[in-house]
Amino acid sequence: MSGAGTGTGISTGPRTERALFDAAAECAALSARCRALCERAAAAGADEAEVFGLRSESIAVGFEKDDMKLAQVDDGSTLGLRVFRDGRLGFASTNQAGEAALAAAARDALALAAINPPDPANRLPAASPVPAGPALVRPDTAAVTVERAVEIGRELVGRAKRADARLAIDKGTVRVGRSTRALANTAGADCAESDAAVSLSLFGMAVDGGDVGGFHYCGDVVRDLGRLEPALAQVVHEFVEVSLGNLAARAAESYRGPVLFAPDAFVEALVSPLIAAASAIAVQRGRSALAGRVGEAVADPALSIVDDPGDPTLAGATGFDREGQPARRFELVAQGVLAGYLYNSYAAHVDGVASSGHAAGGARSVPGLGPHALCVGVGTGGDLERMLAALGRGLYVQRFSGTVDPASGDFSGVAKSARWVEGGAIVGSVRETLLSGNAFELLRRLVVLSSAAQRRGGSLRAPHALIDGVSVTAG
Amino acid sequence: MDASDPIEGHDPTDLLAEVLAAAGDGFVELRYHKKRTRGVAVEKGRVDSASISEHTGVGVRVLEAGTWGFASTDRVEAGAIARAIDLARRAARSSAPGRNERVGALPPVGLARGRFEAPGVGETLARSIEEALELVLTLERRARSASSEVASSTCGYREIFEEKGIVTSDGAKAWTRLVRPEFHVGAVAARDGEIQRGREAVGSTGGWECLFRNASPEELAEKAVKRAVDLLAAGYPTGGRRRVLLSPSLVGLLTHEAVGHTVEADFVRAGSCAAGKLGQRVASELVTLCDSGASEFYEGAGGRLDVDDEGVPAGRTVIVRDGILESYLHDRESAARSGVAPTGNARAWEYDDEPLIRMRNTWIEPGGTSLEEMIAGVADGLLLDGAANGQADSNGEFMFGTREAYPIVDGKLGPLQRGVNISGTAFDVLATVDKVGSVFRWDLGSGHCGKGQPAKVDAGGPWLSCEVLVGGEQS
């Protein structure tokens, strides 16, 4: 770690009491509430009913302008009820636990089902056994107190501030969440799991006299407190390096050619349209450029993408999806070839196949469709230094802020925290530089991926990518 | 709390006042917030979502031991609210040692008392969800059948009904009610492997008359289809610094992204580019830029707010007058620190969110030039229309997406080109404004602003001529 000041380290033991988190009891209680609402809906006339429940207790401490701002404690739960009646869909959710509210939710969902047109794909998936998922709760993580969260936050913000007086923390947050999710349906699904994690984030910039650098946001999520210190050190290190690097920005040059994308920018501008186009629903609805392309090359052979919900170091780790189907490792793109589409049960019923376990979403909406924990495979490009050398001259973009059309693959936006590279080395920060191109075309012009992937925000893993043919417009 | 007729409502402030009276000394803010959302969404003839969701509870904020504590409860009853007050106080006391600069007592300000109801609540809530479903099914079908090149279409309606009660220990006692309906329609056109989208969206605070004031649902559908089909054959503009004419929706994005965020007092304190510029020229003298909780010019602005979430009346703030920066946007704490009156910009998305400084309805005042005169005055430039997403940076650099572009050469409009992202530095761009249109329009009511929490905002203005960096193709 360099440039992040001298940390004093953070202790790992709880200081004051917090009510113990009994994950098994939490799961049992929430499952019982889900089953009860399911039975209520069935009794009220639903052919099929499904209830997804989410209970969350959280502690959050927020820092603003380098100082403690607010400590927040929340505790709440929501049940989302989906019903089918004669192939007609209805959905209602409530965060109220009282009898009247639950009766109203059942009534609302059935009333909606009464007026919607029928659809033969509107039915629950057959229940599948859900194997034991990844271990997501560690007692010490679930026991973190307000005092402890403040201590972590002070260390997070303090280290960044000690690193360089020019850094301004607009927002720093430590959130300790312990949650339980459960699903029960009339087709026999009945599953639950708990989770406990600490998330860290820093948002701010460097200010040097009249020079205000572009902001930077970074964060991480850890379930294992043993990983808290390295995660905190990495968040601070990145915040310091990138924010200071954003000072003294100058104009870049316009060109069309190679651009080096850091993992966040690579996923946002180039990988996200591919993921959206791999949705079976996008294919069925005629808005996917990947329709009919399973088994075909859709990107350079160096690109492989998997969804790995069994990896407990990623925030999206889970044992089951939003419909209670097992969440398994899923290969989406293998050596540039599209291996399959992402399915929830609705899309699966339309195509007459099995769900891939990718129903997604929370308790306040009908199940959607999406990956759980995205991992983009690494390449042979070596470390960042070698990737910069491979770029030679041009733009290195660490964050992309713009518009991405998942249907066409067109993207256009600003290169943020971007650097100009000469002779394979960073020579300065750039401002007002726009990128544009088409993701589906440019993924075929992948020059090389770095040899290591980074965990980003705790939610995905991806390498750096050098891509040719990108339009760069400088101000 | 008893279930009540949503149209008549039920005043929650007496219950809150009773709890507050027994809560002892110190600043306490109680915010009851009921949010009921009804929505339907259809794609290619299939109902993807039909839902009714309720999220209700009480958020408690206290100022204790020189710092803020926050807790929330989903149980709207005296005992649970009292326990939440105790939890918030304990959270504040536990976190107080982490605070360097203690917050003193908030100065007295004029706080809201009474009932405040925005127009359209009764009218919108009286409409059945069947009516919304019928509208959405009909318009989606109409869009899908409008052209043989339409591969898919979508249509959706959503309304958020909000009822709040805000009671503070220093005198606020306000009950507010409003409803925010939104409607969108989109088309995906495909030809020879090329896919393009068109999308139209509207949102307001009020009834359906406000929602469809500028265009009927049928006209919105026709426009979405035409845009998708026309874009199939459209090319890309050439990137570079260009003179552009921005439509009211894009002027709205400019005011919101380029200026609005940089004058939020929390961001100013962190060192945004607006810091220290009060009283200085930051824009052309043609520019007067305001933010208001009222729906000025005409009813229906999507960010209407009578009372903010600290109980402060949400009045009008002139941010830039004739090019001179006149005010920042404040909550009570930042206003006290600056020695000014709060501007009524503290907003929380749901009961379990803390109030943050947010915009409401933000606009540039109209001038005196017609659009025809503006086009005729451009020798080489672009006319841009259709707002996509946007983002602002601490250094004033902004970007936002546009959906369509028309070249202007020697005062004449050329054929449609694809929308691009544009960028610039807020005050530099505002200094280049040389013409301001005469016809005002709110045109961002369907959007949400993100700042840790969503917020419904609106923005608009007249057509505007200025100079920005346009992303586009490089040869």
In a domain, A3, yes or no: no
In a domain, A4, yes or no: no
pLDDT at A130 over 60: yes
What pLDDT does B4 receive? 53
Nearest C-alpha of chain A: how many angstroms from B297?
31
CA distance A122 to B46: 10
Question: Which positions in chain B touch A219 (Cβ < 8 Å)?
Answer: none
Nearest alpha carbon to residue A36 among A185, A178, A258, A170 = A185
What pLDDT does B10 receive? 80
Query: φ, ψ for residue B313 (rounded to 5)?
Result: -55, 135
**Share above pLDDT 90 across residues of chain A, in percent, rounded to a whole number:** 87
CA distance B21 to B1: 18
Selected for mutation to probe chain B from A408, A416, A438 (highest B CB count within 10 Å) is A408
By the 8 A CB rule, do B74 and A76 touch? Answer: yes
Nearest by CB to A94, which of B54, B91, B133? B54
In a domain, A9, yes or no: no
User: Are A231 and A266 in the same domain?
Assistant: no
Q: Do A214 and B394 touch (CB under 8 A)?
A: yes
- Which residue type is seen at A432? E
Nearest C-alpha of chain A: how many angstroms from B298?
31
Nearest residue in A to B469, CA atom: A475
Q: Which two tokens stand for residue B67?
A: 């710092």
Over range A324-346, report the average pLDDT: 97
Q: Do A115 and B129 touch (CB under 8 A)?
A: yes
The answer for residues whose C-beta is within 8 angstroms of residue B451's C-beta and 6 or more apart is B261, B356, B358
pTM for the full predicted model: 0.93
Q: Which two tokens stand for residue B473?
A: 């193709």
Angle, vertex CA B260, rays to CA B259 and CA B265, nearest 5: 110
Residue corresponding to tokens 């929340």 = A74
- Which residue type is seen at A259? V
Q: Do A475 and B43 touch (CB under 8 A)?
A: no
The answer for residues whose C-beta is within 8 angstroms of residue A302's C-beta and 6 or more apart is A335, A336, A379, A380, A446, A448, A449
Q: Which two tokens stand for residue A140?
A: 């010490």
The last residue of a domain, from among A196, A222, A245 = A245
pLDDT at A230 over 80: yes
The answer for residues whose C-beta is within 8 angstroms of residue B219's C-beta and 6 or more apart is none
What are the Cα distances from residue A301, in Å, to A126, A188, A405, A452? 36, 42, 24, 17
User: Are A122 and A256 in the same domain?
Assistant: no
Whole-number CA gyration radius for chain B: 23
CA distance B170 to B330: 18
User: Are A287 and A228 in the same domain?
Assistant: no
What are the Cα distances from residue B328, in Å, to B281, B289, B341, B454? 14, 11, 11, 20
CA distance A65 to B377: 46
User: Are A257 and A228 in the same domain?
Assistant: no
User: Are A105 and A182 in the same domain?
Assistant: yes
User: Are A230 and A337 in the same domain?
Assistant: no
Cβ within 8 Å of A, B 103-132 = 129-130
In a domain, A396, yes or no: yes
Nearest alpha carbon to residue B12 among B347, B351, B454 = B351
Helix (H, G, I), strand (E, B) or coil at B445: coil
What pLDDT does A236 receive? 97
Nearest C-alpha of chain A: how many angstroms from B300?
27
CA distance B156 to A276: 20
User: Are A267 and A227 in the same domain?
Assistant: no
Nearest residue in B to A76, CA atom: B74
Q: What 8-state DSSP symbol labels residue B225?
A: H
Nearest alpha carbon to residue B459 among B412, B398, B414 = B398
CA distance B72 to B348: 13
Whole-number CA gyration radius for chain A: 24
What pLDDT does B5 receive? 61
By the 8 A CB rule, do B326 and B278 touch? Answer: yes
The last residue of a domain, from among A213, A230, A245 = A245
Return the CATH number at A232.
3.30.2290.10
Angle, vertex CA B135, rays to CA B218 and CA B5, nearest 5: 135
Strand-pair partners of A56: A76, A179
The answer for residues whose C-beta is within 8 angstroms of residue B394's C-beta and 6 or more apart is A170, A204, A205, A212, A213, A214, A215, B262, B267, B270, B271, B272, B273
Q: Which two tokens stand for residue A48?
A: 């099929």
User: Are A126 and A198 in the same domain?
Assistant: yes
Residue A236: how many CA atoms within 13 Å on its side-chain side? 27
Selected for mutation to probe chain B from A81, A264, A281, A287 (highest B CB count within 10 Å) is A287
pLDDT tens digits, one per residue of A178-190? 999 999 999 999 9
Strand-pair partners of A177: A58, A197
Helix (H, G, I), strand (E, B) or coil at A43: helix
Give chain A's domain count: 2
Buried b (16+ CB within 10 A) or exposed e, A431-463: bbbbbbbbbbebbbebbbbbeebbbbbbbbbbb
- Which residue type is seen at B243? R
What's the maximum distance between 2 C-alpha atoms anywhere in chain B?
72
In a domain, A1, yes or no: no
Q: Count CB neighbours of A79 within 10 A.
A: 27
Q: Do A432 and B472 touch (CB under 8 A)?
A: no
ipTM, two decimals, is 0.93
By the 8 A CB rule, do A374 and A305 touch? Answer: yes
In a domain, A14, yes or no: no
pLDDT tens digits, one per residue of B406-460? 999 999 999 999 888 888 888 999 999 999 999 999 998 887 898 889 999 999 9
Q: Count CB neighbours of A86 within 10 A.
A: 10
Q: Is B288 exposed, middle or buried (0-12, 13-18, 19+ CB in 10 A)?
A: buried
Q: Do A73 and B391 touch (CB under 8 A)?
A: no
What are the Cα distances from residue B315, in Å, to B251, B306, B400? 22, 8, 28
Query: φ, ψ for residue A247 (rounded to 5)?
Result: -70, 165
Task: Tell me which residues of chain B have a pLDDT lower than 50.
Answer: 1-3
pLDDT at A144 over 90: yes
Helix (H, G, I), strand (E, B) or coil at A293: coil
Q: Do A72 and B269 touch (CB under 8 A)?
A: no
pLDDT interval class at A3 (50, 70, 90): very low
pLDDT tens digits, one per residue of A61-86? 999 887 899 999 999 999 999 999 99
pLDDT interval class at A342 (50, 70, 90): very high
Residues of the domain holding A44: 23-245
In a domain, A417, yes or no: yes
Query: φ, ψ for residue B349 (rounded to 5)?
Result: -70, -40
Size of interface A-B (CB pairs under 8 A): 276
Element (H, E) at B141: helix B129-144
Cβ within 8 Å of B, A 399-428 = 401-403, 405, 407-408, 410, 412-414, 416
Q: Which two tokens stand for residue B120?
A: 């359209």
User: Are A80 and A218 in the same domain?
Assistant: yes
Domain B13-232: homologous superfamily in CATH: PmbA/TldD superfamily (3.30.2290.10)
Question: Using CA atoms in the order A20, A24, A30, A31, what is the torsion angle rounded to 10 degrees?
Answer: 180
Residue A12 contacts B where some CB pair is shorter than 8 Å:
no
What pLDDT does A17 receive? 53
Q: Going along B211-366, which residue ranges are E strands?
A: 240-246, 289-292, 316-321, 324-325, 346-347, 356-357, 361-364
Over range A114-124, report the average pLDDT: 96
By the 8 A CB rule, do A374 and A461 touch? Answer: yes
The last residue of a domain, from among A190, A210, A245 = A245
pLDDT tens digits, one per residue of A16-59? 456 789 999 999 999 999 999 999 999 999 999 999 999 999 99
- Which residue type is seen at A429? S
In a domain, A264, yes or no: yes
pLDDT tens digits, one per residue of B208-255? 999 999 999 999 999 999 999 999 999 888 888 999 999 999 999 999
User: Are A297 and A167 in the same domain?
Assistant: no
Q: Which two tokens stand for residue B238?
A: 């050439």
Q: How confident is the prediction for chain A on average, in pLDDT?
A: 93
pLDDT at A14 over 80: no
Domain boundaries, chain B: 13-232, 240-470
User: Are A227 and A283 in the same domain?
Assistant: no
User: Are A79 and A190 in the same domain?
Assistant: yes
What pLDDT does A458 receive? 77
